[in-house]
Amino acid sequence: MSAVKRLVRSFFDRPTLEVARDLLGARLVRVGRFAGRRLSGIIVETEAYIGQEDLGCHAKAGLTPRTRVMFGPPGHAYVYFTYGMHWMLNFVTEAAGKPAAVLVRGLFVTEGASVVALRRNGRPRKIWTDGPAKLCQAFGIDKRLNGTDLCAPGAEVFLEKALSLPESAVTTGPRVGLNNVPEPWKSIPWRFRVLDIAPFLRDNCTGEGVQ
DNA sequence: AGCACGATTAACT
DNA sequence: GTTAATCGTGCTC
Average pLDDT, stretch A58-64?
Answer: 91
Split at pLDDT 50, 70, 90, the class of A106 is: very high
pLDDT category, A115, cuts 50, 70, 90? very high
Q: What percent of chain A has pLDDT over 70?
A: 95
C strand bases under 7 Å from protein CB? 8-13
How many Å separate Cα A73 from the centre of its chain? 17
Q: Which nucleotide is nearest to A67 (CA to C1')?
A: C12
Looking at residue A65, its amino acid is P
Per-residue pLDDT, A208 = 46
List bases, strand B, within 7 Å of protein CB.
Answer: 2-7
Q: How confident is the model at residue A45 (pLDDT cuts 50, 70, 90)?
A: very high
Asked if pLDDT for residue A48 goes beyond 90, the answer is yes
Does the pLDDT value for residue A209 go beyond 80?
no
> In whole angstroms, what separates CA A129 from the centre of its chain?
11
Smallest CA–C1' distance to C7, residue? A83
Q: Which residues of A64-75 are buried (b: 16+ CB within 10 A; e: fewer)?
A: eeebebbbbbbb
Those residues whose C-beta lies under 8 Å from the C-beta of residue A99, and which sit 6 or more positions away, are A51, A52, A57, A59, A63, A67, A70, A71
Structure confidence by residue, pLDDT tens digits, A180-206: 888 899 889 999 999 999 999 875 454
Strand partners, A193: A45, A171
**Residue A94: which pLDDT band, with cuts at 50, 70 and 90?**
very high
Asked whether strand B has any atom less than 7 Å from the CB of A41, the reply is: no
Distance A153 CA to C2 C1' (A): 45
Q: What is the pLDDT of residue A2?
A: 67
Q: Give the burial class of A55: count Cβ atoms within 10 A of its Cβ; 0-12 exposed, 13-18 middle, 19 or more buried.
A: middle
User: Which nt sits closest to A63, CA to C1'?
Assistant: C13
Asked whether residue A101, judged by its CB, lies under 7 Å from any atom of the DNA or RNA strand B, the reply is yes
Please, are residues A128 and A116 in contact by the beta-carbon 8 Å criterion? Answer: yes
Work out the angle at residue A138's Cα, subtended by the Cα atoms of residues A133 and A140, and round it to the nearest 5 degrees.
90
A83 touches strand B (CB under 7 A): yes
Contact A128, A57 (CB under 8 A): no
Closest by CA to A49, choosing from A176, A193, A167, is A176
The H-or-E segment that residue A118 falls in is: helix A113-119
